[in-house]
A and B are shown apart, each in its own frame.
Chain A
Amino acid sequence: MIKEKRIIKRIAAGDEKALELLIDIYSSYVGSVIYAVIGRSMTREDIEETAADVFAEVWLHPEKLREGKVKQFLGAVARNTARNKLRKRDTAISIDENDFLLFDDSFESEVDRHEKSEIINDALKTLSDAERDIFIRFYYYNQNSKMISESLCIPVSTVTTRLSRGRKKMKDFMAQKGWI
């Protein structure tokens, strides 16, 4: 098992070898997250460049790394960096009324990020595997219906239907817990 704590400390101390080790371990994962967001709209070289932005961010802000949460942090930075690249290329995400929920104010004021993550995981468990996969691709990785349809080799209409079911189940769960 890799001593994550040691890598984090050495990166914070300015050891480039530790950063290189982090890249060896996580470059595939980071590349996969970026590809999940950007997909085929960018070349492999673009994705490697974007991955490099992620690890450069780690180098500049090592205080954000926490033992046991390195992969999650890298995934979040990779996703945000990829989304920013998409925005620069004017690839807009369209949102309609179906995409909104009306939350109780306490959800924002009283629930911290870690608890929200757990609530979301519990909600996602109420979806079928297929519904969950599509829901995460659409709302987390911002893939559009056409991209999802091509990746999963299913019709766009199937994507739309499963997405709709996923939204309903998520809303039902949140309502049951009193958050909406």
Chain B
Amino acid sequence: MKKSFFELMDNYEPEDAPEEYSISAENVKEIVMRKIDNHEGKAKIRIRRKAIAVMAAAATVTAVGVGAAAYTLGRSSNTAHKFFETYNAVSKADNGDLYASSRVLDVEDIKNIDANIHEENTVIESNGSTIELTGSMYDDQSALLFFTLTAPEGTVLDIDTDYEFADSMFDFEGSGYGAIGGETKFSDDVPGDNVINFTYELQYNGDGSRYAAKSIKGMHFQNLAVWDKMAWYGDEPKDVVVEGEWYVPLNLTEKVQEIELLDAPLEVSYQTDTETRTAVIDSLIISTLGIKTTETIDANYRYYYENTLKVVMKDGSEAEINDSRFGTPVDLTQVDYVEVCGQKFELGN
């Protein structure tokens, strides 16, 4: 195989640049923040950002959901759940009678969030505090784990404080500790007590690849601290709120229920610069954790294809979708319909 030295050197990893060139970090920061603001749109309310995966470059494409064009954010009480505060988009668009066709599916046994949470009962103690794994939800795209931390009596854990574990990593079979693409969210049932709940969402392994639930052995936590008081330099954060080291073994065995909404592949049209082409949506699968499609499309034209995917709730709001994941788990009993490329699918709720 013929390769140029240029191509060969694409694999080179230099230690340093050939010569130093000084630029202003402050100028760079200002420009970066401007670029980020432009990219995240004009909406004033901050959306908790998730890692975004790269689309696979192949004839079969797994699409990324695209949200509504113009919306404001507000809380949706119908989908609120004790573990989450749900922020769903209320569409301002007047859809009217847009749909060329719509189907009502008789979907049996649609489950709400509670029914999808697999109960766990693993309690680990360290230094007078406990971390309990109380539940898990997972599928092939992500895992959501529910924990409760109970500190010694007299310790006040307050949800208004920005907490962070000094160390929290997943333990994978074979490759050891990893998982950078995860996120911890704290919530609190009773303010002012010594108990706090938190969830951890995992989407990526430590090497950047998608996680595999069966490969997770456990999760390691160390020292709960206040984020603002954590030292950037040095090994230990200052002002640890709860001191301890916990290893919580994990054995994820029951996936959330997934529902296939298509009973046959669906042809959709899309426009390139010069012609109208056809893609085929082979599957449209929804669960309480997310929604995804798989499509067959000519790889040469995949950049023209945009999968417009919406999950509309009974109260008129839309579920936030990032990289086929819902921003927070969705109660499927409260979904009014799913819309993909102008085709509407009701869940029979």
Contact = CB atoms under 8 A, between A and B. Distances in A.
A2 B232 contact: yes
Contacts of A12: 51, 180-183
A65 interface: yes
B29 interface: yes
Contacts, number: 179
A47 interface: yes
A63 B204 contact: yes
A21 interface: yes
A36 B230 CA distance: 36
The binding surface of chain B is classed by DSSP as loop
Contacts of A28: 20-23, 25
Q: Which of the four size classes fits the interface of chain B?
A: 35 or more
A60 B49 CA distance: 9
B8 interface: yes
B35 A56 contact: yes
Contact of B21 (A7, A35, A62, A103): A35
A61 B180 contact: no
Interface stretch (B10-18, B127-135, B246-254, B300-308): B10-18
Given A120-B11, A133-B18, A139-B5, A63 B53 contact: yes
Interface string A76-95: 10000000000000000101
Given A12-B180, A27-B23, A120-B8, A60 B233 contact: no
Contact of B6 (A45, A95, A124, A151): A95
Contact of A14 (B48, B204, B232): B48
Contacts of B29: 20, 23
Contact of A51 (B20, B28, B183): B28
B39 A60 contact: yes
A75 to B, nearest CB: 6
A139 B5 CA distance: 6
The binding surface of chain A is classed by DSSP as helix
Interface residues of A, number: 76
Contact of B12 (A13, A16, A120): A120
B19 interface: yes
Interface in B223-252: 227, 230, 232-235
A136 B19 CA distance: 12
B98 interface: no
Given A1-B233, A65-B180, A67-B180, A24 B2 contact: no
A66 B11 contact: no
B206 interface: yes
Contacts of A36: 17-19, 21
Interface of B: 1-6, 8-9, 11-14, 16-25, 27-29, 31-33, 35-36, 39, 46, 48-49, 51-54, 164, 167-168, 180-184, 203-204, 206-208, 227, 230, 232-235
Interface of A: 1-3, 5-10, 12-14, 16, 19-21, 23-24, 27-29, 31-36, 44-45, 47-49, 51-53, 55-56, 59-67, 72, 75-76, 93, 95, 99-105, 107-108, 113, 116-117, 120-121, 124, 133, 136-137, 139-142, 151, 167, 170
5 contacts: A23-B25, A56-B35, A63-B51, A65-B180, A103-B3
